Amino acid sequence: MAQPWKIHNLDPNKSVHSCLKKILHTRVNEVFSYQIPALTHEDIEAVHDMRVAVRRLKAILTIYRLHFEPTPLKKLNTRLKFLLQALGNVRDGDIFIASLVACTEAVKEPDRTALDMIIENEEHARNIHRKRLKKLLQALNEKHCMKRFDAFVHASLKHTAKQKTAAPHEQSLYESARFIVPDLLGVFLSQGSDVLSHPRKKEKLHGMRIDGKRVRYGMEIFSEIFGGEYTRCLEEMKTLLDIMGSIHDCDVHIPKIIQQCEEIRSFNAHRSIRSERIRVQGLEGYLRGLRRRRTLLFKEMGEKLKRFDREKFTEIVIQSMIQ
C-alpha cells in the first residue's frame, strides 16, 4: 500500500480552516495520481492505492464536516461513494481470485475442477467491474475532474466569517488533533468487548472496522505533526486493521464458497454417471482453510485488543501528542 503523500508547508499552529485547504489539495491530487495506472490495469495495486487515497479524502471530509457547507459536501461524498464502490468491486475480485489461485497450487489436478470453475466465474465478474471502472475513470479524465474536483472541494469550505460557532473553527490543527484522535479512538475501542463476545456476528466486526478506518486515516492527518511514539501507535492501528480486514475477507468469501459447494452437490446428485460429476474436494479444502484462517485471525485480533486495553492504548496516544 502506498504511503500518504506528504503535505508540504503545513503549519499545525495555524487554524484548522487554513490547514484544510493544503490537506485537501494534497489528498485530491493523491487520488487522481493513480487514475492512469488504474485505468490501464498495468498495476493491480494502483486500484488498491487509489481506493485507499479516496478513503483518506473521505475521512477528512467526515472528521471536519462542520467546516463545509452541507449541500456541496453531500454532493461531494456521493461522487466519492460511486468512485469508491467501483474501485472496491475490482479490488475485492482481485483479492478473491488471488486467494483461489494460491489454493489451486496445493491441490492435485483431478480435485481442481470446482476451483477452476469458480476462478473462471470470478474472473468474468471482475472483468465486468473493470470495464465499469474504466468507463468511470475515462469520464473523470475527459472532464478534467481533478482540477474541477479540487475547486469543488475548496468551494465547499465555509468562510470563517460565516461560522456560527467561531471558537471550534478557530482552533489550530494541533489543538484539534488532541481532541479528535482520542474521540475517534474511544468510539472504536468501546466496541471491542461486544465484538469479541460475538465472534460470529459479522456485522458487529464490520461496523467496528469502519470506525477503525476513520481512526487510522484521522491519525494519518496528524502524522507529520507528531513523531516517535505517535507514529508507533499509528503503525499499531494499521496492523490491527489489517487483521480485521483479513477477517472481513474471510467473511465475504466463505458464504460464496458454501453456495458454490451446495450448487455442485445438487448438480452431482442428478448425475447418474459418475464421470459427469464435478469433483468438489479442492473447493471443500479451501473452505476448511478459510474457516481455520478466520479462527486464528480472530484470536490474534482479540489478543491485540486486550493488550490495547491492558496497556491503556488511548492514554499512550494522548501522551504522544503532547509537545
- Per-residue pLDDT 10s for the chain (323 aa) are 678 888 888 888 898 888 888 898 899 889 988 888 887 766 778 899 999 999 999 999 899 888 888 888 888 888 889 999 999 999 999 999 999 898 888 777 777 788 888 899 999 999 999 999 988 888 877 766 667 777 777 777 765 434 444 445 568 888 899 899 999 999 999 999 999 999 999 999 999 999 999 999 999 988 888 878 999 999 999 999 999 999 999 999 999 999 888 888 887 777 766 655 677 788 888 899 999 999 999 999 999 999 999 999 999 999 999 86
Look-up of cell digits 498495476:
43
Residue ranges of the chain assigned to CATH 1.40.20.10: 15-159, 171-323
Confidence (pLDDT) at 73: 83
Smallest CA-to-CA distance from 113 within 255, 260, 282 is with: 282
Residue 323, number of CB atoms within 10 A of its CB: 9
DSSP 8-class letter at 172: B
How far CA 314 is from CA of 185, 237, 304, in Å, comes to 7, 11, 14
- Reading phi first (left if > 0) and then psi (alpha if -120 to 50, else beta), residue 277 is in beta
Dihedral angle over CA of 182, 184, 186, 190, nearest 10 = -160
Residue 89's H or E segment, with its range, is helix 70-104
Question: By three-state DSSP, how is residue 320 classified?
Answer: helix
Q: What is the rounded CA–CA span in Å between residue 83 and residue 208?
A: 23
> DSSP letters of 110-160?
GGGHHHHHHHHHHHHHHHHHHHHHHHHHHHHHHTTHHHHHHHHHHHHBPPG
Cell numbers standing for residue 6: 506528504
Q: What is the rounded CA–CA span in Å between residue 108 and residue 115?
A: 11
DSSP 8-class letter at 15: B
The sign one gets for the Cα dihedral 250, 253, 257, 263 is positive
Q: What is the rounded CA–CA span in Å between residue 89 and residue 129?
A: 6
Burial of 93 (0-12, 13-18, 19+ CB in 10 A): buried
Confidence (pLDDT) at 275: 58
Burial of 176 (0-12, 13-18, 19+ CB in 10 A): buried
DSSP 8-class letter at 6: P
Per-residue burial over 105-137, b if 16 or more Cβ lie within 10 Å, else e, is eebeeebbbbbbbbbeebeeebeebbeebbebb
Confidence (pLDDT) at 160: 47
Looking at the domain that runs over 171-323, which CATH code has it been given? 1.40.20.10
- Superfamily per CATH, domain 15-159: CHAD domain (1.40.20.10)
The pTM assigned to this predicted structure is 0.87
Confidence (pLDDT) at 164: 42
Helix axes 313-320, 229-269, angle to 10 degrees: 140
Question: By three-state DSSP, how is residue 68 classified?
Answer: strand
Length, in residues, of the chain: 323
